[in-house]
Structure 1
Amino acid sequence: MTIDFPDDLIALERSAWTEIQAGRLTVDTARAVHEGVAAFAAEAGIGRYDVEMGLKRVVRHSAAVDA
């Protein structure tokens, strides 16, 4: 399934991924991503899990998504 994620949600996940890699993910960042994923999933009518996993693939494994 290909999902067209909004830029602001991708930016939130990128921030979280950067913090995770640095070992300093904050509760505020994690909450913002969670809330963004939940809101987008509800608006798009897609399961939250599918949105979360798709978003992580886009941000963390973009080369695999582009292939």
Structure 2
Amino acid sequence: MALTFEELVAMQRAADEAHTRVLDLRETYGPPTHQEGGWTGTQKGTYETAWRAWRDLDRDLQASVAEYAKEAGRARPEVEAELRKILPDPESGRGTTEG
């Protein structure tokens, strides 16, 4: 079933919220190797759960964007750019971090 652009926006928003959660946890906990003994078990579990949620939401979003672009006869980067006009990347202005 084809998605609407509004549904893509909702999916992008959910993925961005999950990404922001991961970024916030990184800021709160710091890099795991910069603390004596690393993160606690609870911190590691919380971070890994947040990271998996972001990864899964983003994977689903990317598949949906590709399907939407194909069905609409548009280029995928064009659709992605349109989404980012509405919802800026959570890392813009924060510096780049990798998961």
TM-score by length of 1: 0.72
Provide the residue aligned with 1:20 in structure 2: 19
- 1:13 partner amino acid: Q
Please show how residues 1-67 of structure 1 align to structure 2 within 5 Å.
6-23=5-22, 24-25=50-51, 26-60=54-88
Unaligned runs of 5+ in 2: 23-49, 90-99
Instruction: State the 4+ residue runs in structure 1 displaced beyond 6 angstroms.
Output: none
TM-score by length of 2: 0.51
Identity score, percent? 28
Q: CA RMSD in A?
A: 1.8
Unaligned runs of 5+ in 1: 62-67
Aligned length: 57
Higher helix share: 1
Provide the residue aligned with 1:64 in structure 2: none
Instruction: Find the structure with the greater CA-based Rg.
Output: 2
**Counterparts of 2:80 and 2:5, CA distance in 1:** 13
**Counterparts of 1:28 and 1:16, CA distance in 2:** 8
- 1:12 partner amino acid: M
- Secondary structure of 2:74's counterpart equals coil
